[in-house]
A and B are shown apart, each in its own frame.
Chain A
Amino acid sequence: MQVSVQEADFDSAAEALALTQGRKDIGAVVTFEGRVRADDGLSALTLEHYPGMTEAEIARHVAAAQARWPLAGVRIIHRIGRLGPGERIVLVITASAHRQSAFEAAEFLMDYLKTRAPFWKQEQYGDGARWVEARADDLDAARRWQSPAKR
């Protein structure tokens, strides 16, 4: 398990290769890459986070995923700072013997990154900025993992 919070961009293919190189027990690798959309004339997104808590919170969710699915590897990168449309924001890679575990764990981790990890997005438009509000459907997506196993 490796978690990074960084300003720098990342290379998803290189990260997937590093996670799986030399392994003969991995039958499934899911790579999810989140990107900035240019909705409504958005010019940039600025991501702020809570150093210390962010890493601790993500580590708690990775541990929960590892307890729930037989994972051979997990890699998470979340970018912070100012990002333009089309830029990568977040990377989640899950590796497992079989695809169902890899798919489900990747979705689980993304749902928790969106609703529990202490990041805040501010959207910049031509002449102003506004803080993004939490979305009810993100909370619903995270809630579906709460039963019957751990939250």
Chain B
Amino acid sequence: MKKQILALFLAVGVLAGLLGGCREATPQNSTASSTNAPSSQAPQKAEIAVGIAQDLDDSLDPYQMTAAGTREVMFNVFEGLIKPDSQGNFVPAVAASYTVSTDGCTYTFPLREGVTFHNGKECTFEDVLYSFQTCAAVTVNSSVAAALSNVADIREENGGVVITLTAPDPDFLSMAASVYIVPKDYDGQATAPVGTGPFRFVSRSIQENVILERFDGYYGAKPALERVTYRIFSDGNALFTALNSGALDLVAHLTVDQVESLTNGYQILEGTMNLVQAMYLNHAKAPFDNELVRQALCYAVDVDAMLALTADGHGAKVGSSMYPAFGKYFDSALADRYPHDVEKAKALLAQAGYPDGFSFTLTVPSNYAPHVDTATVIVEQLKEVGVEAKLELVEWETWLSEVYAGRNFEATLVGFDASTLTASAMLARWVTGDGKNMIGYTNPDYDAAYAAARDPAHTEEEQTAYYRQCLEILSDTAANVYLQDLADFVAINPALTGYAFYPLYVMDMSTLSFQ
């Protein structure tokens, strides 16, 4: 009887497989035209539907928004005096150009002519001043707030903005880029944001969509797309189904398994997520206070095998707290500092006083599948050296309050990205006593190297060398079990071109166009 039931399942499975097989033979172009999705008229109306995995559920105010997903979308609406390009350089935006004084304390931004806000108002010095002052006062990004507290004076000079700092700050440009310029005396930013970017905000339907439209008064090159609808899918599987059905034109942050399961003939682009995924270890808790134990875990984990399992080998090993897009600082040699070596791991554990291994709880936020997948594999790999990791999935919000803020964890597997395009965005957090040093890393050598890197007395080359030294220290002391910068797959309607990957977590809609 059991066999018959089994056979029945198999028959049903095979049938479904056949159906799937037949489906592949149908011409791909029917995908977009036979649906009643809004995207079906896309080629004529130059509008696209983009699938995103989380709602823009925080404030849309540029200084209040916190979620990476919100910043990713609003990048198209807001601009600073300068903005990053896809190469990681800063290009003039609201400012026409910029110059830095030789002492590194005075920045001059001549304002561009004819920049208007989405509400039709012209952008003036008053707006820039207001933006900097408001941002300094209310921003939720503590590193931007810290950088702005260093501003001594902002004044108007020959139709430009001159900013004077109390002390030179090598990262000031990237901080300035995150001060979005908004119109003075407009108080609707939280729900109806107004900026100067190539797209203007049209509407937000909770958990349904966010609509942007081309801003025809944009000073720069006008985007080819007239309208971008971000459709929100709180469930990753539903997002995938919608993509596969042709309801969406563009979805980013897919995994290789999803991409390979896709059957709608979309083109696939591969980039990186620009984050450092690692098993972050709480140094305040035994046995992770022991460097030998941490090193043993590094040897026990086989990153290549993990990449093969979770991503068919896609993704870049990192080895320290820096991802490859930061070419200046990234050291690929560190990625192989701890080759997979079970015997060595066992020996180190024995030396540390744990010959029979130990057990710990690995807390992982459940909302992001790739971290859960990685953790699933790591748990199995650690068993080989006798270390039992108990996987505990928590909501992202619980993770934020308990693990990140409360530091109540043993080990956690997440990815850290850079909120600004600076080395310090990745490295400041490991300085002893830093508010964001969730693992409680304490190392005088590291602190000294980091302080030297930040010292304006050093040349840029010297600073870079010190930052690289920081990375080596993190790797040598096995601060965390560093894993990878995840591969970021983008599936895109074959008719669309011009997608650009950024070294930041943003998606630029202004470069996209239909062929």
A binds B: no
B interface residue numbers (CB < 8 A to A): none
A interface residue numbers (CB < 8 A to B): none
